Amino acid sequence: MQIDIEAERKEILHRYKLLIKACKRRLEKGDQEIIRKAFGVAVESHKEMRRKSGEPYIYHPIAVAQICAEEIGLGRVGIVCALLHDTVEDTDLTLDDIKGLFGEKVAQIIDGLTKISGVIDNTSSIQAENFRKVLLTMSEDIRVILIKLADRLHNMRTLEHMKRDKQIKIASETLFLYAPLAHRLGLNTIKTELENLGLKYTDTEAYNEIGTKLSESEPERKKFIQKFIEPLKDILAEQGLKFKIFGRAKSIYGIYNKMKTKRVSFEEIYDLFAIRIVIDSPHDQEKSDCWKVYSIITDFYHPSPERLRDWISTPKSNGYESLHTTVMGPSGKWVEVQIRTTRMDDLAENGYAAHWKYKDSAADKESKLESWLLKIKEMLENPDPNALEFIDDFKLNLFSDEMFVFTPKGDMKTMPVNATALDFAFEIHTKVGEHCIGAKVNHKLVPLSHELSSGDQVEILTSTKQSPKDDWLSFVITAKAKSKIKNSLKDQRKKIAEEGKDIVQRKFERQKLEFTNKNINAFCSFLKLNSSQELYYRAALGNVELKEIKEFVKHQENPIKKKKKTETANIEQLVTTARGNTDMLVIGDDLQKLDYKLAPCCNPIPGDDVFGFITVGEGIKIHRVNCPNAIKLLSNYAYRVVNAKWVNDQLISFLAGVKIIGTDELGIVNNITKVISNENNINMRSINFDTHDGLFEGTIMIFVHDTKHLNHLITNLKKVKGVTKVERIDEKH
């Protein structure tokens, strides 16, 4: 295909002009020249490169810079770094070159953005280490993660040009970490787009189905919203309020998530949309005006008292401010109503992009962000050697719902929901946590594991005799508490191990065995212990006996050759062996003598979109792409994932589960079993029905050949009189 170089050159310049236009309002004197210089360096560095779509590579850095300027609101340094973000990794340009051309700060951010390329070890994956590197640099400069998010957003927007396995891996990683990070930074618009695009590639069928249903139900929704807001408009105007009132549909991913977690169908979700009332209010009247609107709405429609959320008095730690209530609207439907001012709405939707407009509130939000970054720094001081565990803890804390807890003096602390008294103790200070023996919650004595509720006042009780215990890890949820407890336990083990070293040395000498590193390592290997410290620790606790040393001496004199076990195989070799020369595992093909099992967490059957996951000791496990565990596996252990596809030469039966719900009609069970037995080659393994107050619920485990076979059965079961819902279930019963 002939490439029109001149047309491409014009297009590159056109895109550059659009970028300058997008950031012009925030540029100071001299900024444009520096951006122009970065643009020139990026064009020159990437000139020979093309993207998978065939377009010039430079389109990507320009698009990332455009997102940074337009959708995130970054200034000169951010734009320069976005234009140069791939140069050190993909071209001959070095970090020193960047430093010489653009200074220390730009080089530091580019360093954080440059992906790690290193050896994969068996405790973590490239991605997990990469995330940690990003988080470390991010705690120095927030722009690292903002540019990373822009980079990911553009990659997700152009994901159709990638191979299917790459699409699944990148989309899973996006849902696993990048979308929650965007949420945590208050970038709601970007978070929503990342989630929707992530779903589009991890569960295309569900994405299309929900999208179609949303479009189909739109006219009906519009009619309902009109009916709801009509009586409110006049009275709000009478009160002299300037306002906009409209209905906002929930995102496709938001609906999908609700269907999954609540196990309901699309039709059963009552809050498919929310009514949003945005008022134009002076800064000093914002709070009172929002409550005035709340009062007017609840005069018209009955509110649900337990569904009131006040994030105006106490904004979320990502700066979100809004008043939410759920009211009983026309036609007996519950409707969520969000009340906020123009400033609050802008900050909620665009986060950083809106900052430059609201200087006062921006300063307040910056201080919130500073305290959050301080928390990250604390967590990174002593990160767990297992990067994956660390990422899990990090996610758990930073993206969980929040509650507010008070000290005895009335200071407010923000804690994740489900945090315990011990979490709170570590939140106050590491020493307070380590010496904590209990707490008083609202003046009543409670144990360390007591779960706190929003509004609790907590006094921590300490004793210098107290020190962290192993079981403490099971009742803390904050990453700070976990990492501090683990460090303390490690130190304790080290001290105990030092005493154990002398014990082992004495025992070795008694058996006339030299106390050398070689012998110690051989003895550890003989006892299947992973380190000499573990050996010394056990010895100090009296768990290393003379008898074992004697057996070891005998073994040394006359070693018995042990069979190699898969468990001890290096994971790298495992991956290479399992992959072979191909990157595609064909399931059900006799030619491929690979040991694979179907994962019990999602029971894949032929026709499902699947991938193979290389395990240690259990061969390859086949998972469905939309398996509950898939996102974590695909994003953290991508190097252990093998593409997999089914061949349907043989009719093999696979176990699948079906859940049936309906009204308890006479003979319904008989009618259901009749449909199943009439279906070709379907055998039932188990059947379980339960009726309660005129409703019945049944679970049937059946053997089917593939998804087509199963879907045909589900369609026929839905036709049985009295059956209201039939769905495939993952777990075995």
Which of the residues 89, 280, 498, 502 is marked catalytic? 89
The rounded distance, in Å, linking the Cα atoms of 418 and 420 is 6
Closest CA to 372 of 135, 639, 79: 135
CB 592 within 8 Å of CB 585: yes
The rounded distance, in Å, linking the Cα atoms of 729 and 733 is 10
CB 613 within 8 Å of CB 637: yes
Q: Which amino acid would we find at residue 134? A: V
Which of the residues 8, 11, 70, 90 is marked catalytic? 90
The rounded distance, in Å, linking the Cα atoms of 402 and 404 is 7
Give Cα separations from 503 to 2, 530, 681, 712 (angstroms): 78, 19, 67, 69
CB 45 within 8 Å of CB 98: no
Strand-by-strand arrangement of the 444-446 sheet: 444-446, 436-441, 458-462
The rounded distance, in Å, linking the Cα atoms of 621 and 634 is 13
CB 59 within 8 Å of CB 52: no
What dihedral angle (degrees, nearest 10) is formed by the CA atoms of 232, 238, 244, 249? -10
The rounded distance, in Å, linking the Cα atoms of 520 and 513 is 10
The rounded distance, in Å, linking the Cα atoms of 417 and 727 is 32
**Token pair recorded at residue 157:** 């927007």
Q: Which residue has the tokens 């994405």?
A: 207
Backbone angles phi, psi at 627, to 5 degrees: -65, 145
247 bridge partner residues:
275
**Token pair recorded at residue 564:** 């190699």
Q: How many residues does the chain have?
A: 733
CB 700 within 8 Å of CB 684: yes
Fill in the DSSP letter of residue 451. B
CB 521 within 8 Å of CB 556: no
* Angle 124-125-131 from CA coordinates, rounded to 5°: 100
Per-residue b or e along 338-353, where b marks 16 or more CB atoms closer than 10 Å to that residue's CB: bbbbbbbbbbbebbbb
What is the phi-psi region of residue 134: left when phi exceeds 0, alpha when psi lies from -120 to 50, beta otherwise? alpha
For this structure, is 90 an active site residue? yes
* Catalytic center residues: 89-90
